[in-house]
Amino acid sequence: MSATLLEISIRRFAALASLTPAEANAIRGLCERTLAIAAREVIRDEGATPPLLYFLLDGWAMTSIGLSDGGRQILKAHLPGDVMGAPSAPFAEAVETITAVTACTVAPFTREALAQTFQAQPRLGWLFFLAAQQERAALMDRLTAAGQLGAHRNLALLLLQLHARLDRASGDDVEIPLTQQQIGDMLGLTPVHVNRVVRDLDREGLIRRAGRRYELVDLARLRAFVGLPARTLAPPVQAAADDSPAPTTLRAR
Amino acid sequence: MSATLLEISIRRFAALASLTPAEANAIRGLCERTLAIAAREVIRDEGATPPLLYFLLDGWAMTSIGLSDGGRQILKAHLPGDVMGAPSAPFAEAVETITAVTACTVAPFTREALAQTFQAQPRLGWLFFLAAQQERAALMDRLTAAGQLGAHRNLALLLLQLHARLDRASGDDVEIPLTQQQIGDMLGLTPVHVNRVVRDLDREGLIRRAGRRYELVDLARLRAFVGLPARTLAPPVQAAADDSPAPTTLRAR
DNA sequence: CGCAGCCTTGAAAAACTTCAAACGGTGTGG
DNA sequence: CCACACCGTTTGAAGTTTTTCAAGGCTGCG
pLDDT category at A178 given cuts 50, 70, 90 is very high
pLDDT category at A244 given cuts 50, 70, 90 is very low
* CB interface of A with B, residues 87-126, below 8 Å: 87-93, 95-96, 111-112, 115-116, 118-119, 122-123, 125-126
Which residues in chain B are closer than 8 Å to A186, comparing Cβ atoms? 147
**Nearest by CB to B91, which of A63, A187, A231?**
A231
Nearest to A159 by CA among A220, A78, A214, A218: A214
Check whether A15 has a pLDDT greater than 70. Answer: yes
Inspect the interface and report whether the beta carbons of B122 and A126 lie closer than 8 Å: no
Check whether A172 has a pLDDT greater than 70. Answer: yes
Residue-level pLDDT at B236: 80
pLDDT over 70, % of chain A: 91
Residue-level pLDDT at B244: 46
Residue-level pLDDT at B93: 96
pTM of the model: 0.91
Q: Is the CB of B235 under 7 A from strand D?
A: no
Residue-level pLDDT at A2: 52
| Average pLDDT in chain A | 89
Inspect the interface and report whether the beta carbons of B67 and A227 lie closer than 8 Å: yes
Residue-level pLDDT at B238: 63
Which residues in chain A are closer than 8 Å to B129, comparing Cβ atoms? 89, 118, 125, 128-129, 132
pLDDT tens for each residue of chain B, 253 residues long: 555 667 777 778 888 888 889 999 999 999 989 999 999 999 999 999 999 999 999 999 999 999 988 899 999 999 999 999 999 999 999 999 999 999 999 999 999 999 999 999 999 999 999 999 999 999 999 999 999 999 999 999 999 999 999 877 667 889 999 999 999 999 999 999 999 999 999 999 999 999 999 999 999 999 999 999 989 999 887 665 544 444 444 443 3
* CB interface of B with A, residues 3-22, below 8 Å: 16
The CA distance from B238 to B219, in Å, is: 31
Average pLDDT value for residue range A141-169: 93
* pLDDT tens readout for residues A187-233: 999 999 999 999 999 999 999 999 899 999 999 999 999 999 999 99
User: What residue type is assigned to position B83 of the chain?
Assistant: V
Taking every pair of Cα atoms in chain A, the longest distance, rounded to a whole number of angstroms, is 59
CA angle A24, A28, A32 (to 5 degrees): 170
What does the DSSP assignment read for B59-102?
A: S-EEEEEE-TTS-EEEEEEE-TT-EESGGGTTBSS--SEEEESS
Cα torsion A4, A7, A8, A11: sign:
negative
Phi-psi region of B11 (alpha: psi -120 to 50; beta: other; left: phi over 0): alpha
Check whether A103 has a pLDDT greater than 70. Answer: yes
Nearest to A175 by CA among A189, A188, A187, A159: A159
pLDDT category at A185 given cuts 50, 70, 90 is very high
Average pLDDT value for residue range A23-28: 91
Check whether A247 has a pLDDT greater than 70. Answer: no
Average pLDDT value for residue range A79-84: 94
* CB interface of B with A, residues 141-180, below 8 Å: 141-144, 146-149
Residue-level pLDDT at B206: 94
Instruction: List the B148 CA – D15 C1' distance (angstroms).
Output: 19
Check whether A241 has a pLDDT greater than 60. Answer: no
Residue-level pLDDT at B3: 53
